[in-house]
Chains A and B, each alone.
Chain A
Amino acid sequence: MDSIAFLTPLLDLQVLLTIAAGTLGGLVIGALPGLTATMGVALLIPLTFGMTPVMGLNMLIGIYIGGIYGGCVSSILLRTPGTPASAATVLDGYPMAQRGEAGKALGMATIASTIGGLIAAIVLATLAPQLAGIALEFGAPEYFALALFGLTIIASLSGDLLKGAISGLLGILISTVGADPISGVMRYTFGIQGFASGFAFTPALIGLFALSEVFTQMERIAADEEPIKTVSGRWPSRADMKESRGALIRGSLIGTLIGIIPGTGSGTASWISYNETRRASKTPEKFGTGYAPGIAATESANNAVCASALIPLLALGIPGDVVTAVLMGGLLIQGLAPGPMLFQTNPDVVVGMFGGTFIATIFMFIFGMALIPLFSRILMIPRRLLAMSIVVFCFIGAFSINLNPVDLYTMVGFGVLGWGMNKFGFSQAALCIALILGPLLESNLRRGLLQNDDNVLAFISTPITLLFLALTVLSAGWPFLSRAIQRRRAAQNI
């Protein structure tokens, strides 16, 4: 077996140490709000100039995997999504930590990330060429249908349908700020150059979730509230694991599938997975109150995306998300052009990257588990000091991404918006989903119309669009449907 021989370079101590260092570095980068996996990979590419391809690329993969995982730490502990991928983890992770189960929440996230990563890595190593074809099937109508389906999450996630719809529509309206995706005309920028690309996404999320939470806490902090006393152990209970089994498998598979579709990414995957898990659950009302399967669903999905985004990259030369686009730059620097030919010309590199994905995932598990006690102790800091440090981190995080002062106004503005929404019972999650999917929806609707001479029928003409549109109808109607079923059951029981 040649492929076994290709794996031996990975066992070299130096290579292992490089992957370990990459994963640990990625974990820290991901955990710090405002530093994203994309940035980590991009900034360290110059370091790989002098390395062998297998070593350099696997270090970058380590950063990627560690970075996406690390995002859960600040989401769970501080309600600050370190990366957009872990915004959905806030929903159940933060309430759990507030209840004194931070260690458990982080442990669940670590286990879920590992399982998601490993399942996707197995798929990557065994089925990459076969599955990569999915990536090519997605044209504008397919993306539009997928985004529309994603938006129906809003209906089931927000308790009050009307308020949820308002939040979602507000999100879509906000996402239209900036250059028009098709004509390039500036919209709603009021002549401010800093808004030419619209509201920056991560600063908006930091404001929406983290700063707003600080505002909310400030209202009740007046009475000197005690810090959280317990942070619990790192292992989730057996009951938690049993309840999460379905969530883990569903999340991993959804993440793997979404990862293959280029241009969607881990943010979309984790929201869809969260929603599907909730829908399948016998106790959907527990989601959002600090329920372990909620974390299992989002974290398994977003780490599954990491490995599966490599599928179209390696098999077709198409990057699946922003980080893999940067990784593609790393491959080119090594003189390797990703694409179908890579499997023939440099099988050692391809197999080496498959192996590296496994190794980095395992390192991620080890480091994650080892660091949990240290991370979760952050919550024992007195609340006032903690709130203050979060504010500082919000500002640093929002600014460091684009070094654009306008992003600070964005962050503060969204902080106030998030606080107000929270106060009056509007769903922040709905706004977040709309911000992620709005641009995907709009640009593909417009592009599809442009390409098909404004013929709407093109949007219902392929099997994939029909599938997603059917799912959309089902998903939007689900709350009504399930209520009707319950009512009938109740009637029968009487």
Chain B
Amino acid sequence: MFKTALLGAATAAIAATGALAADYPQRPIQVVVPYSAGGSTDLSMRVVADAFERAFDAQMVVRNQPGGGGGIGSSAAINARPDGYTLGAGAQGPLVIKPLIGGTDYQLDDVEFIGLYARSLQVMVACADAPFADYDAFIEYAKSDAPQVGNSGAGGANQISAEAFADAAGISIESVPFNGSSEARTACIGGHIDAMVASPAEAKAASEAGQMTPLFVMEDERIDLFPDTPTAVEKGVDFTWSSWKGLIGPKGMDEATVAWLRDAVEKVATDEEFVKTLTDMGEFVTYENGEEFEARARKDMETTKSVLKKLDMLGMNN
């Protein structure tokens, strides 16, 4: 008797989820952005929500839950009820780096990767009054003195990328952490540090104004914005790095829901108006499906692991 009831309940539950998936989404989908409103992750997710609502008869609400370098909001998304109505903005720092440093209640394995819609390319720039102005001079200088490279926070993505490059190029640098990238930028333009990792958009405006000089691009190939700036790869250093923006969710969502969401991200990421707005904001719009996105995150994690080990930060906050 009890068994039949249980079986009945189970069947009902399965039927219910099936029906749910077919009608998904019935309610507004909430996306947790793990940073304060107004940053690039937040703004780009708002553009996604805008394009999503244009493309589908559904609502997407952005919710900001900042704190702990993105760890708090990411935890909220990853530990949310897996019904497809609470998702998260997937960012490199909180997903890949934070769990390795420790102190988070999630790991990369707990993340359901839905899709990546933009990559944030990175350019190493020389700051005002720096004793070097191109790649070769930078490496030459670094052989005798460790250049002071500013970053947006201890254990943040651009500390890792700068240190990873130094590792690959066999030079040593001194990382100087700031409270956010705009503070690092201010120090860079003021000549209080030697170099920093910047986004192509900010590097472009600043280099035209003579405030910064691009040294190299962290891509495989040169980029349109900086046709004269070399990549590390062409200088013989096997190093690429970019940060990214995507949509993630908790593990355990219904398969049909995940499939629906993956298609939705693809549709949004290839929408003309979306591409234009995000490109104007200085993002490199590209689409990667869930598997490619996950593979990218895992590759970044391997690089990060060795950098953190060298810096003695692996598992530091556990």
Measured CB to CB, the residues of A under 8 A from B are 38-39, 41-43, 45-46, 49, 135-140, 179-186, 189, 191, 193-194, 196-197, 200, 262-263, 312, 316-319, 322, 325-326, 328-329, 332-335, 337-341, 402-404, 439, 443, 447, 450-451
User: Could you tell me the distance in whole angstroms from the C-beta of A176 to the nearest C-beta in chain B?
Assistant: 14
Chain B positions near chain A (C-beta within 8 angstroms): 36-40, 42-43, 46-47, 50, 63-69, 71-72, 75, 101, 103-105, 128, 148, 153-155, 174, 176-180, 182-183, 185-187, 189-193, 201-202, 204-206, 208-211, 277, 280-282, 313, 316-317
Whether A181 contacts B179 in the complex (CB less than 8 A), given A332-B281, A337-B205, comes out as yes
Q: Which residues of B contact A191 (CB under 8 A)?
A: 103
Q: Is the CB of A181 within 8 A of B177?
A: yes
B277 — which chain A residues lie within 8 A by C-beta?
Answer: 49, 333
Whether the pair A317, B211 counts as a contact (CB closer than 8 A) is yes
- Knowing A182-B177, A340-B209, say if A136 contacts B191 (CB, 8 Å): yes
A200 to B104 CA separation, bound complex (whole angstroms): 18
Check if B69 sits within 8 Å of A447, measured CB to CB.
no
Q: How far is the CA of A45 from the CA of B208 in the complex (A)?
A: 26
B67 to chain A, nearest CB (A): 4
Closest CB in chain A relative to B47 CB, distance in Å? 8
Cβ contacts A to B, 15 pairs, < 8 Å: A38-B36, A45-B43, A136-B186, A184-B317, A191-B103, A193-B71, A196-B67, A196-B72, A332-B280, A337-B202, A341-B209, A402-B64, A402-B66, A450-B176, A451-B176
**Whole-angstrom distance from the CB of A123 to the nearest CB of chain B?**
20
Known: A135-B186, A402-B66, A403-B65. A335 touches B280 (CB 8 A): yes
Please give the distance in Å from B52's CB to the nearest CB on chain A.
Answer: 13
A326/B154 in contact, CB under 8 A = no
Complex CA–CA separation, A471 to B174 (angstroms): 33
Contact status A317-B209, CB under 8 Å: yes
| Set of chain A residues within 8 Å of B104, measured between Cβ atoms | 193
Chain A residues closer than 8 Å to B68, beta-carbon distance: 179, 193-194, 196-197
Whether A316 lies near B201 (C-beta < 8 A) is no
By the criterion CB–CB under 8 Å, are B189 and A317 in contact?
Answer: yes
In the complex, what distance in Å separates the CA atom of A189 from the CA atom of B67? Answer: 13
Q: Is the CB of A319 within 8 A of B182?
A: yes
Q: Please, how many angstroms separate the alpha-carbon atoms of A332 and B104 in the complex?
A: 33
Contact of A318 among B37, B189, B313, B316 (CB under 8 A): B189
Chain A residues with CB under 8 A of B186: 135-136, 138, 262-263, 312, 318
The number of residue pairs between A and B whose CB atoms lie closer than 8 Å in the complex comes to: 163
**Distance A404 CA – B72 CA, assembled complex (angstroms):** 8
Residues of B within 8 A of A194 (CB): 67-68, 72
Whether A43 lies near B177 (C-beta < 8 A) is: no
Contact B38 A41 (CB under 8 A): yes
Q: Name the one of B36, B183, B205, B317 contacting A186, with C-beta atoms under 8 angstroms.
A: B317
**8 Å CB contact of B37 from A43, A179, A263:** A43
Query: How far, in Å, is B105 (CB) from chain A's closest CB?
Result: 6
A179 engages B185 (CB within 8 Å): no
B92: min CB distance to chain A, Å: 16
Closest chain B residue, CB of each to CB of A316? B189
Given contacts A136-B190, A185-B316, A325-B182, contact A45 B205 (CB under 8 A): no
Known A197-B67, A262-B183, A451-B176; 12 more pairs at CB < 8 Å:
A38-B37, A45-B43, A49-B50, A184-B316, A317-B211, A318-B185, A319-B182, A339-B208, A340-B211, A402-B64, A403-B65, A404-B72
Contacts of B40 in A (CB 8 A): 329
Residues of A with C-beta under 8 A to B210 = 340
- Decide if A42 touches B280 in the complex (CB within 8 Å): no
Q: Complex Cα distance A451/B127, Å?
A: 15
Contact, CB under 8 Å: B209 / A339: yes
Q: Is the CB of A183 within 8 A of B154?
A: yes
Beyond A193-B105, A318-B182, is A179–B205 a contact (Cβ under 8 Å)?
A: no
Closest to B192 in A: A139
Chain B residues whose CB sits within 8 angstroms of the CB of A403 once the complex forms = 63-65
Which A-B residue pairs are the 4 nearest by beta carbons? A196-B68, A42-B37, A184-B154, A326-B38
Interface-central residue, A183, A184, A326, A443, by most chain B CB under 10 Å: A184
Give Cα A200 to B190, complex, Å. Answer: 30
Q: Which residue of B lies closest to A263 (CB)?
A: B183
Question: B42 near A341 (CB under 8 angstroms)?
Answer: no
- Cβ distance B63 to chain A, nearest Cβ, rounded Å: 6
Whether A184 and B155, one on each chain, are in contact in the complex, defined by CB atoms closer than 8 angstroms, is: yes
Q: How far is the CA of A339 from the CA of B206 in the complex (A)?
A: 7
Residues on the A chain within 8 Å of B63, using CB: 403
The answer to whether B206 touches A317 (Cβ under 8 A) is yes
A56 to chain B minimum Cβ distance, whole angstroms, is 13
Residues from chain B with a CB closer than 8 A to the CB of A39 are 37
- CB pair A184 B75 closer than 8 Å: no
Q: A135-B186, A140-B192 are in contact. Are A329 and B43 (CB under 8 A)?
A: yes
When the two chains form their complex, are residues A45 and B103 in contact, meaning their CB atoms are under 8 A apart?
no
Residues of B within 8 Å of A46, CB to CB, are 43, 46-47, 50
User: Residues of A contacting B65 with CB < 8 Å?
Assistant: 402-404
CB distance from A136 to the nearest CB of B (A): 4
A317 to B128 alpha-carbon distance, docked (Å): 14
- Quote the shortest CB–CB distance from A3 to chain B (angstroms): 21
Q: Which residues of A contact B37 (CB under 8 A)?
A: 38-39, 42-43, 326
Q: How far apart sit A41 and B186, CA to CA, in the bound complex (Å)?
A: 22
CB <8 Å contact, A42 and B183: no
Please measure, in the bound complex, the distance between the C-alpha atom of A317 and the C-alpha atom of B201, giving whole angstroms: 12
CB within 8 A of A341: which of B36, B103, B205, B316? Answer: B205
In the bound complex, how far is the Cα of B318 from the Cα of A193, in angstroms?
Answer: 11
Known contacts A196-B67, A333-B281, A184 near B153 by CB under 8 Å = yes
Residue of B nearest to A333 (CB): B281
User: Do A404 and B103 touch across chains, with their CB atoms under 8 A apart?
Assistant: no
Give B121 Cβ to nearest chain A Cβ, in Å: 15
Counting chain A CB atoms within 10 Å of each CB, the highest count among B50, B105, B155 belongs to B155
A93 CB → nearest B CB, Å: 28
A141 nearest in chain B by CB position: B192
The complex places the Cα of A404 from the Cα of B280 at a distance, in Å, of 32
Contacts of A450 in B (CB 8 A): 174, 176
Tell me, rounded to whole Å, the shortest Cβ–Cβ distance linking B129 to chain A.
10
Closest to A334 in B: B280
A139 in contact with B187 given A184-B316, A326-B37 (CB within 8 Å): yes
